[in-house]
Amino acid sequence: MKTKYLSTLLVALLTLPGSLLQAKVVVEFAYPYSQLFDVTYEKILPKFYEAHPNIEIKMRAAYENYEDGTNTILREAVANKLPDITMQGLNRQAILVEKGIAKSLEPFIAKEANFSKDGYHSAMLKLSTFGNDVYGLPFSISLPVGYYNMDVMAKAGVKSVDDLPKTWEEVIDVCGKLMDAGVKNPMFWGWNITGNWFLQALMWSQGQGVMENGKFMIDTPEGLQALETMKSIFRGCKMPNLSTSDGSTLFTSGEAGMFFWSTSSVASVERAKADFDFKTNEYPGLVSSGPMGLPAGGNAAMMVSQSDDPEVIDAAWTWLKFITSGEGAADVARTTGYMPPNQAANEIILKDFYSENPNKATAVRQLPLLSDWQAYPGDNGLAITQVIYDAIEGIVTGEYEDMKELQEQLAEEVGDLLP
């Protein structure tokens, strides 16, 4: 009886599909900004599972922002609880390389018969290259852009995209006209976006990075101009001190005429906005010819796995490669406002996409301005980010009025924290 039962069981097992007999390889994955990227991974995962049914992607709790992502990885490295793949802000990769947490991707790339670094925009790939080795593959790239409610803008006499402001002086002028027309909150400028990104945007607009040869460049004429421009924007537009989510809501509700933010939110704004005519346009500059450069935002996929199982490592590479190239990369553009880093995705798969989605094409037109989103070196990088954040908030709230004095204070405080 027992022998007959075992024989029946063996026959049943042998008739099962191979995919059910073989246990799936689990890859642990962590990423930021669930409100932006959940919809992206919902699109990508079915395509990945169809191509790789033997791999399971286990999503960890999403990071709140890039700073949270870096802090989490640093803690998990000490506790030996790292995921296999992590998405990190482009300006937060260096510390993971310096501490030996991130793995070089060169050995994996070398084994790929059809893999070519030329598939990625060189300026984007450079953002994840350290010491001639690639440590991350860029997943989503953003640049700052202007968002406009054309129904509100008409109250200031701005009735076409050609009439939209090209300089911050023009932005402030439009704010005055909108307030005269009864618009209480005409604009939100996203100073509090992650990584002091908009300070870097004002610096790069003048052709100057915030860091140069290990020195914080706020004590330059460009640094003072950046601070003075912030003050002019905040005062001239009577901008309230709102959180990033409340600033976005101010625009999507239809109350504000202008919203300056990352192109990453174009799709989410389109989904959430009230019934108004929504347009994006190039980011204003300090002069009418526009910015000289703009910082590249976004994130890159990095391998930080502590597994000693070669199957897990191979599966992790398979996932990393899939999401940063081809259809995986194209879904970034389809579901967000980010640009795919892969030229094949942009030029072949998305050939007609941008002509059909002009609001997402603005950042693509700005690609020649792509500049480094710079990190502050050393162990105090995150602390420096917070010092600068607090200073800019002080301009918004009116705590700081003398920008020359603030410039000197920032140069000293940040200088003390740099290695």
Residues 326 and 387 in one domain: no
Residues 389 and 304 in one domain: no
Residues 40 and 128 in one domain: yes
Determine the structural domain holding residue 43 and report its residue range: 21-142+297-370
Tens-digit pLDDT profile for residues 104-163: 999 999 998 777 765 776 766 788 999 999 999 989 889 999 999 999 999 999 999 999
Q: Are the C-beta atoms of 236 and 400 separated by less than 8 Å?
A: no
Tens-digit pLDDT profile for residues 236-263: 999 999 999 999 999 999 999 999 999 9
User: Does residue 7 lie within any of the structural domains?
Assistant: no
Q: Quickly count: other Cβ atoms within 10 Å of residue 224's Cβ.
A: 16
- pTM confidence score: 0.85
Please tell me the total count of domains within the chain: 2
Residues 44 and 56 in one domain: yes
Residues 200 and 283 in one domain: yes
pLDDT of 22 strictly over 70:
no
Residues 53 and 196 in one domain: no
Instruction: Please report, for residues 97, 99, 181, 216, the alpha-carbon distance to residue 303 in angstroms, rounded to integers and kept in the order given.
Output: 11, 14, 53, 30
User: Does residue 216 lie within any of the structural domains?
Assistant: yes
Task: Please tell me the least confidently modeled range out of 19-28, 118-127, 213-222, 390-399.
Answer: 118-127
Q: Which helix (H) or strand (E) holds 211?
A: strand 211-212
Tens-digit pLDDT profile for residues 325-340: 888 888 998 999 998 8
d(CA 394, CA 402): 11
